[in-house]
Chain A
Amino acid sequence: MARFLLKRLFSATLTLFAVSVFTFLMFFALPRDPVSSICSKNCNPERLERVRDDLGLNDPLISQYAGYMKGIVTGRDLGSAQGGRCDAPCLGWSYVTNEAVSDTIARVLPVTLSIVIPAAILWLLLGVGLGMISALRRGTWLDRAAIGFSLTGASLQLYFVGAVLLMVFVYNLRLLPVPSYTSLFDNPAKWASGLVLAWVALAFLFSAIYARLSRAQMLETLSEDFVRTARAKGLAKPKVYGRHALRAAITPVVTIAGLDVGGALGGTVITETTFGIQGLGRTAVDAVRSGDLPTIMATVLIAAVFVVLANVLVDLLYAAIDPRVRLR
């Protein structure tokens, strides 16, 4: 177990390293001078040169990369123009927003978490529940309705669903305020009412995919011998279906869920754009538009960290769910 974890974490680190190198090369190979987009027209050449020096753009690429990595691990000193000392998870200084990138991230990360975590709980419960029920009631109207729901949901686009939800609940019925983020700890009611549309939109689309997947898996499991054996030796239906069958059927769902949740935590770009909420995804989009390199780097890296960690977690969960899986 410990050995497996070590091995897995090592390969995860390797992946993250590769992502960071790739992103770094991609953005620093930009033909556009990252500085000129920061300074508007009336920017004198001296200041331009100083900024370039502060950002370390005159150093060779390798030492730029090494400096960046050192900043993440131990923190580093950026020039006085960049807020001086930058502490341990130092992601650099943004000349566009004029603050340390780690501060920006610390501000927008809770927003994305507040969108994704409740939505993920909702879509997993709804999706797996619906899939299970329709597999157990195969061929009934309930099954057909569930299939119809998942087929429709899987083909709908988030921005369209989001736009319709906004139109109905915010602009026409005026039941909900225009979506916005308030901290959960300041005002839970406002937190929920500001984000509920985003949860519903995400959960609707994702649960469609999960319902479909878990229905297929459940049907396959129900036809297996061990389920019949369990029924034959007199175990109650809820126990057979809930404990034995569900456990075997859910493994592929866990894999997909890990990827989806990990990916979504890295920024729900479309959701945040549709509802106008400033989370990690919107920040990344804004950073790309304004050529804010340190922020782009940081958002891509964080998204990669989430995906990679989610994958490690999925591997561990596998062992917990399915005793046939041995971690080596």
Chain B
Amino acid sequence: MAVSLREYRARIKSTESMKKITRAMELIAASRIIKAQQRAQAAAPYARELTRAVSAVATFSNVDHPLTTEQEDANRAAVLIVTSDRGLAGAYSSSVLKEAERLAEKLREEGKEIDFYIAGRKGEAYFKFRNRQIVRSWTGFSDQPSYDIAAEVGEALIAAFLKEREEKGGVDEVHVVYTRFRSMLVQEPTAVRLLPLEVVEGTEAPEKGDVLPLYEFEPSPEAVLDGLLPQYVQSRIFFAMLQAAASELAARQKAMKSATDNAEELIKKYTRVANQARQAGITQEISEIVGGVNALADASAGSE
């Protein structure tokens, strides 16, 4: 026994307090996930109605809009990466960053230069550490994004997209990389192209004899589309952020759960080793006493 019993006891104690902390973080993450899911559900009607309206305009009018037109020889792309503000969430941030790198690689192969936009402190730190340029970053909201932030991010991206290509900061495409929340156990990093928009046209084919609703547009189809599309983009970004928030919390809960389990294992192991050390100490003490008694007995037997 190289280490004394006291040291083992100290180790057990510190592991125990670590376990308490990770357990608390696990519980906090678990309770926040439910809230995050509720927020995502609450935001769903807006996204649904907006999508319906956009596909109505796209289906029932032939209007070209700058946000939907494809640039012929696109050579600059913006990538928005949604990461977390805090660590301790397992591989959450690194897997979304890995996905972003993959996308960047693909875009570079297509001959495009890339402007990075970052949401979340972890992504910012990743780029800063590697001395890579980012155009803009937003931080401090990753586990409960508000619509206002999403609107701000959306405005910045739309502005960059609408700039002429000669201007500084103008881009021809906008991509978003975020983590999609599939279930409590599965979250997958996803990359989607946000701009130019691909509007999902009327989801159901009209039945025979069914008259399509002929929409009246006020003041005009162009003006309606002008107002509708930026909001559609912002709502898509908001959706991505809400999904990312739920994923982050789920990843954190999972990471903290395994940390707690690990701490339990460690405590068990240390308790065993500590008990062994204690028993070894006792055994040694006994054998010393017995040895001493024997020696005394031998000595007194010799003198008689």
**Does B associate with A?**
no
- Chain A interface residues (CB < 8 Å from chain B): none
